[in-house]
Amino acid sequence: MPYQEIKLYQAGTFVAGNRLLDPDQRSVQARMERSNTLTSGHRACQGCGEALGARYVLDAAMRAADGELIATNATGCLEVFSTPYPESSWQLAWIHSLFGNAPAVATGVAAALKARGRDDVRVIGQGGDGGTLDIGFACLSGMFERNDDVLFVCYDNEAYMNTGVQRSGATPPAARTANTKPVGGTAGNEFGKGKNAPLIAMAHEIPYVATATVAELRDLEAKVERAMEMRGARYIHVFVPCPLGWGSASRDTIRIARLVKETGIFPVFEAEDGQVTSVSKIRRRVPVEEYLKLQRRYAHLFGDPPQTEVIARIQERADRNIRNFGLLAGADEGGDLPGSAADVAGDTPGQDDPSRTAEQETNLMRLMASSPHGPQ
């Protein structure tokens, strides 16, 4: 009888089901004792990537902290859909103060716990992309540079969804938002603008930076667990599709989150102390159109005639990520992860370069210079 090896990605989800795993390796969500930190009954939209991401992040963090966890939250969808007074979906000690200060509030909570001798209680801060990398960026950077004992999680849905889908510093090029409409001859949000928060986080040389998507939730949990093993400032940037803001079908949230990684548009990686330590390889490379076509925010690119030049520029950016982060399977044998020693050596692998240490310092800068406007 002919035998064909079944690869996991052929199951469609690319993710190993829990029943294939040893019980110890099962996801936090699959456990009876999961804390349901963000419990049911909240008012998030169908298919909300942020609600899904927050649920996984917080349950994993709660498990890692043995329930001793306090969360601070920026203003935004997550805060609004979870707390209309007096109904709260939060089953942990939780505080919302302002839009732009969640990292600083977390700093204060951590300081109070330390002074009170309660180092066993851990602190997590969370916000959307606007609250994290626009209005909250000074507080975030301050928390990073002081290496305060806080894990901050950004749920990035690439625009200000709570106020009606306006552009943020995380909005990708060509995306339509309420104030980057493809009108007057423009093609949505401009190229050459925006910022790459994970790389900027790495530039602070904090203990841990990771990116993740809600397509690979076990990976997200593992990153939260890894972050919770450490002390000091840690940052996880989670890609969370927004059906409402992106004009995508609720059922496509996971598919879109998978495609953003498989296209190379959003590199999924981990970094410690400012150096990339691992990347999630692309399992089956796909052209960016497959990702873009599922979202009406890009519909203007596929009109008659289609804006092939714009699509090509998006593809170029994805290809650059693939090169810079070594995202294609097999590339890891070369050891040329961004930030790795081999990568630093650049075009002269194996040579004993006396300037190597200095180059190592600038590796991140080079990475940022080659990808200055976000993973998108």
Binding site for other proteins (CB under 8 A): 67-70, 72-73, 79-80, 83-86, 88, 90-98, 100-101, 104-117, 121, 138-139, 141-142, 145-146
* CB 42, min distance to other proteins, A: 12
CB of 145 to other proteins, least distance (A): 8
**Residue whose CB is less far from other proteins, 113 or 187:** 113
Please, what is the minimum distance in Å from the beta carbon of residue 66 to other proteins? 9
Nearest-CA neighbor of 93 among 77, 115, 113, 75? 113
When the beta carbons of 73 and 376 are compared against other proteins, the nearer one is 73
For residue 142, the tally of other CB atoms under 10 A from its CB is 15
Rounded Cα distance between 355 and 76, Å, is: 46
Residue 366 and residue 360 in contact, taking contact as beta carbons nearer than 8 Å: no
Cβ proximity to other proteins, 131 vs 267, nearer residue: 131
**Does residue 256 contact residue 284 with C-beta atoms inside 8 Å?**
no
Helix 102-115, helix 137-145: angle, nearest 10: 30
The owner of tokens 């419990």 is 39
Q: Which lies closer to other proteins via its Cβ, residue 92 or residue 214?
A: 92
The two tokens of residue 40 are 């049911």
Nearest to 26, CA basis, from 229, 221, 210: 221
Residue 228 in contact with residue 64, Cβ under 8 Å? Answer: yes
What minimum distance in Å lies between the beta carbon of 161 and other proteins? 16
For the bound state, the minimum distance from the C-beta of residue 333 to other proteins, rounded and expressed in Å, comes to: 42
Q: How far is the CB of 265 from other proteins (least distance, A)?
A: 32
H-run or E-run covering 279: strand 275-279
CB of 214 to other proteins, least distance (A): 24
Give which of 175, 174, 148 is closest to 161, Cα–Cα: 175
Collapse the DSSP code of 211 into the 3-class scheme (helix H, G, I; strand E, B; otherwise coil) and give the result: strand
CB 303 within 8 A of CB 296: no
Residue whose pair of structure tokens reads 């203990």 in the numeric block: 207
* Chain position carrying tokens 């699509």: 311
Considering the complex, state which of residue 95 and residue 286 has its C-beta at the smaller distance from other proteins. 95
The residue among 143 and 175 lying less far from other proteins, judged by its C-beta, is 143
Minimum distance of other proteins from residue 163's CB (angstroms): 14
Which tokens hold the place of 138?
């000074």
Residue 351, class by beta-carbon neighbours within 10 Å (0-12 exposed, 13-18 middle, 19+ buried)? Answer: exposed
CA distances from 189 to 158, 301, 316 (A): 11, 12, 16
Query: 80 or 299, CB closer to other proteins?
Result: 80
Q: Report the residue number, 224 or 292, with the smaller CB distance to other proteins.
A: 224
- Please state the closest distance from residue 112 (CB atom) to other proteins, in A: 4
- Integer Rg of the chain from CA: 20
Nearer to other proteins by Cβ, of 74 and 268: the residue is 74
Q: Of 14, 8, 21, 9, give the one whose Cα is nearest residue 217.
A: 14
